[in-house]
Amino acid sequence: MLLQAQSVTAFYGDAQALFGVDMHIAPGEVVALIGANGAGKSTFLKTLTGLLPAKQGEITLDGARIDRTDAADIVKLGVAMVPEGRRLFPSLSVEENLHMGTLSGRSGAWNLARVYQLFPILKEKRHQPATSLSGGQQQMVAIGRGLMSNPRLLLCDEISLGLAPIVIREIYAALPALLADGMSLLIVEQDVQLAMQVSSRVVCLQEGRVSLEGPSGALTREQISSAYFGI
């Protein structure tokens, strides 16, 4: 297993957000994490990246514990995140934002040229302030920034959020290119249909617990609806 999480619990202050979540991701695998708002998807990603330390449980990357590791070190070990809301640096240009990815110090197939090849529009706008771009282009910068760190596991949090369908298709069209290098993906997506299309396995969270897990093709709509909404 590339990544393994066992019985992970997490709190925001006194409020518990995760109640013993188990999950694993194999090398090269694409896993979709779905669930209603407030189910704990983003919280779980935060514990994986070290931004919100897990209270209990164990998270391992290639067998080595990372649940007590500083966020700045986890990205150096090869877990990168495309955060919800993109979180680009407004005072940095497109290219400078992409450069931030290289701070992981990891070498690999991804560099500026390859990101520009994947998203040609970014090359055109590379000197503009990142937040002056359209929502879809900003999302491309966020993904590109994640790729520049040459991760083994890329966590994508709601990358279709607030984007027009055609832009979403454009962004998801880029995913196969990532997989070519054997990178693993964990995708948080509220668009269930889309999540099922791109992933090989689906994990559904409800109220901070795993409510459903299975191969993407084998789950029925009823199963998902019930795990998602509780109806």
Partner 1 sequence: MALLALKQVSKSYGALTVTDGVSLSVAEGEVLGILGPNGAGKTTLFNLISGDTTVDAGEVEFNGACINALAPYQRCRLGIGRSYQVPQPFGAMSVFENLVTAACFGAQLPEKDAWAVAWDVLQQTGLARFANQPAGSMTLLNRKRLELARALATRPRLLLLDEIAGGLTEHEAQELVEELKRIKNTGITIIWIEHVVHALLSIADRLHVINFGKTLCVGEPHSVMQDAEVRRVYMGLEA
Partner 2 sequence: MADMLLQGLLLGGLYCLFALGQSLMFGVMRLTNTAQGDFIILGGFFSISLVAATGLSPGLALLIVAPAAFVFGYLLQRFVLNGTLGRDPLPSLVVTFGLAIIIQNLLLEVYSADPRSLDAGPLALASVALGFATVGSLPLLTFAVAVVATLSLQALFSFTALGRSFRAVSDDREAAQLMGLRPAIVYAQATGIAFVLIALAGTLQAMRTTVSPSDGPLLLLFAFEAVIIGGMGSFWGTLVGALLLGITQQVGFRIDPGWGIWLGHLMFLFVLLVRPQGLFPKTRG
Q: Which residues bind partner 1 (CB under 8 A)?
A: 12-17, 36-39, 85, 131-132, 135, 158, 161-162, 164-165, 190-195, 207-208, 221, 229-231
Q: Is residue 175 classed as helix, strand or coil in its secondary structure?
A: helix
Q: 30-34 and 201-206 as β-strands: parallel, antiparallel, unpaired?
A: parallel
- Chain centroid offset of residue 42 CA: 9
129 binds, among partner 1, partner 2, none (CB under 5 to 8 A by kind): partner 2
Q: State the minimum distance, in angstroms, from the CB of residue 161 to partner 1.
A: 5
117 binds, among partner 1, partner 2, none (CB under 5 to 8 A by kind): none
- Nearest residue (CB) to partner 1, 51 versus 77: 51
Q: State the minimum distance, in angstroms, from the CB of residue 188 to partner 1.
A: 11
Q: State the minimum distance, in angstroms, from the CB of residue 130 to partner 2.
A: 8
Cα separation, 229 vs 143, whole angstroms: 29
- Chain centroid offset of residue 149 CA: 14
Provide CB contacts within 8 A for 31, sequence distance 6+.
Answer: 23, 25, 184, 185, 186, 187, 199, 200, 201, 202, 203
**Which chain residues interact with partner 2 by CB under 8 A?**
49-51, 70-73, 75-76, 80-81, 83, 87-92, 96, 99-101, 103-105, 129, 131-132, 145, 149
120 binds, among partner 1, partner 2, none (CB under 5 to 8 A by kind): none
User: What is each CA distance from 218 to 40, 150, 200, 203, in whole angstroms?
Assistant: 24, 32, 10, 12
